């Protein structure tokens, strides 16, 4: 079986690495890795390939940044000839970034089965581009590989046949389990004189939080208040750094000695800061999952989450942008009353094994179904009416 895996942006790397490693353990399976280049600089891509032992991609599309429409279209145009040349038995897409949807669309139209890892997650917020990507990808995927029970329920409520759904657990936790012992402190750990359990770790990049001066300034003021009590470590996503500069807020961010700003970090250094912190403030879906697995209290600066299991089972608390709520929850964390939770079922470091088992079971049937004669009223291959 030839298994083509798509990776495009930083959240994908931690999900695809265990799958590639598991495929390579089986002599009868052939991994094909395509990097769309949605995240293309060293801090957002190259360092993760190195840290996670991901092999050089078989194809690099180098699409780069752009609007959602331009980026999605660029990936589709670049991916189509690669897919035709590689002729895989299945295309595996992960997560909810633009590359996920773009490659799923191309594969579906070329008649190649699509398996979606992390299927079924829903925030119910269609203002999030990721929610549109999740809904559309699941609608055209043949095999839906879910991380949790709520994801199964979402798919069933949308009419997905149960035989197409397999709960495999959270593959991102495979990477966390594999890399935990290899995590190392970044240089800013030493430079800022940080101590374990004596600082908060921040990640923030979503447009709703950083794309207006009012909202970004609002959060900056909250972090300024928190740093009076404990250091706040904030590696800046390229988007966030650009907005701080654009809105003239960088000088304000640098005025507080307890607000430690840094560059985007490689995975192992980010994992170290997360695992060694008193708590985390984030708007990232993946960080909600990682903090739950680590037992670190997490405050999510969003009104909703596509990962509700991190709230019901894990360490996550939704705080939105409410200043008083955030400061109250931070105080609880620093006083030792932060949420601890428990690890959800199947977040055990073996999701990749279950993914490969599911592909072995389901891909042959998908391919057989696609090769069956089309009904007389089906559209022609070029998209024109029959």
CATH of the domain at 274: 3.40.50.2000
| Same domain assignment for residues 215 and 325 | yes
What are the two backbone dihedrals, phi and then psi, of residue 377, each rounded to the nearest 5 degrees?
-90, 5
Confidence of residue 40 (pLDDT cuts 50, 70, 90): low
Give the structural domain span for 76: 2-169+347-371
| Same domain assignment for residues 51 and 110 | yes
Confidence of residue 375 (pLDDT cuts 50, 70, 90): low
Contacts of 21 (CB under 8 A, 6+ apart): 53, 352
Q: Which token pair is 282? A: 């984030």
| Same domain assignment for residues 312 and 362 | no
Q: Does residue 42 register a pLDDT over 80?
A: no
26 annotated active-site:
no
| Same domain assignment for residues 250 and 357 | no
Q: Does residue 183 register a pLDDT over 70?
A: yes
**CA pair distance 49, 166, nearest whole angstrom:** 28
| Same domain assignment for residues 267 and 359 | no
Question: Using one digit for the tens of pLDDT, what is the confidence trace for 101-142?
Answer: 999 999 999 999 999 999 999 999 999 999 999 999 999 999
What are the two backbone dihedrals, phi and then psi, of residue 201, each rounded to the nearest 5 degrees?
-110, 130
Residue 181 located in a structural domain: no
What are the two backbone dihedrals, phi and then psi, of residue 77, each rounded to the nearest 5 degrees?
-65, -40
* Mean pLDDT, the chain, whole residue set: 93
Q: How many domains does the chain have?
A: 2
Q: Does residue 376 register a pLDDT over 70?
A: no
Q: Does residue 17 register a pLDDT over 90?
A: yes
The predicted structure's pLDDT at residue 43: 53
Q: Which is the catalytic residue, given 205, 313, 350, 377?
A: 205
Q: Does residue 316 register a pLDDT over 90?
A: yes
The predicted structure's pLDDT at residue 373: 60
| Same domain assignment for residues 147 and 228 | no
- Return the SS3 of 28: coil
Contacts of 285 (CB under 8 A, 6+ apart): 11, 96, 121, 130, 305, 306, 307
Q: Does residue 358 register a pLDDT over 70?
A: yes
Q: What is the pTM of this model?
A: 0.91
Question: Using one digit for the tens of pLDDT, what is the confidence trace for 188-239?
Answer: 999 999 999 999 999 999 999 999 999 999 999 999 999 999 999 999 998 9
| Same domain assignment for residues 10 and 156 | yes
Confidence of residue 374 (pLDDT cuts 50, 70, 90): low
- Cβ proximity of 166 and 143 under 8 Å: yes
Question: Using one digit for the tens of pLDDT, what is the confidence trace for 155-169?
Answer: 999 999 999 999 999
| Same domain assignment for residues 62 and 156 | yes
Residue 377 located in a structural domain: no
Q: Does residue 22 register a pLDDT over 90?
A: yes
| Same domain assignment for residues 271 and 357 | no
Residue 179 located in a structural domain: no
Confidence of residue 382 (pLDDT cuts 50, 70, 90): low
């Amino acid at each position: 079986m030839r298994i083509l895996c798509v990776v495009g942006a930083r959240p994908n790397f931690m999900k695809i690495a265990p799958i590639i490693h598991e495929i390579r353990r089986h002599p009868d399976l052939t991994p094909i890795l395509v990097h769309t280049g949605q995240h293309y600089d060293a801090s957002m891509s190259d360092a993760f390939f190195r840290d996670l032992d991901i092999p050089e991609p078989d194809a690099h599309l180098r699409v780069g940044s752009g609007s959602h429409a331009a980026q999605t279209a660029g990936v589709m145009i670049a991916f189509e000839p690669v897919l035709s040349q590689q002729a895989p038995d299945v295309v595996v897409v992960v997560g909810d970034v633009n590359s996920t949807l773009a490659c799923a669309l191309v594969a579906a139209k070329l008649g190649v089965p699509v398996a979606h890892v992390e299927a079924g997650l829903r925030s119910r917020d269609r203002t999030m581009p990721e929610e549109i990507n999740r809904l559309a990808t699941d609608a055209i995927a043949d095999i839906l590989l879910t991380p949790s029970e709520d994801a199964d329920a979402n798919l069933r409520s949308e009419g997905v046949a149960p035989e197409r759904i397999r709960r495999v657990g959270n593959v991102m936790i495979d990477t966390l389990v594999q890399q935990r012992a290899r995590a190392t402190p970044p240089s800013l750990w030493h430079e800022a004189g940080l101590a374990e359990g004596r600082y908060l770790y921040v990640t923030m990049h979503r447009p709703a939080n950083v794309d207006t001066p009012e909202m970004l300034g609002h959060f900056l003021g909250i972090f300024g208040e928190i740093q009076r009590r404990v250091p706040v470590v904030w590696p800046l996503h390229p988007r966030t750094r650009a907005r701080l500069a654009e809105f003239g807020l960088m000088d304000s961010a640098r005025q507080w000695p307890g607000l430690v700003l840094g560059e985007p970090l490689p995975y192992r250094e980010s994992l170290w800061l997360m695992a060694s912190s008193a708590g985390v403030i984030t708007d990232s879906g993946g960080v909600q999952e990682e903090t739950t697995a680590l037992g670190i209290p997490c405050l999510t600066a969003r009104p909703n989450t596509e990962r509700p299991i991190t709230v019901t089972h894990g360490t996550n608390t939704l705080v939105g942008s409410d200043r008083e709520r955030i400061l109250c929850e931070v105080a609880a964390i620093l006083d030792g009353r932060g949420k601890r939770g428990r690890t959800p079922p199947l977040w055990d470091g073996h999701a990749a094994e279950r993914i490969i088992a599911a592909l072995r079971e389901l891909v042959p049937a998908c391919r057989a179904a696609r090769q069956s004669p089309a009904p007389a009223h089906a559209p022609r291959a070029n998209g024109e009416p029959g």
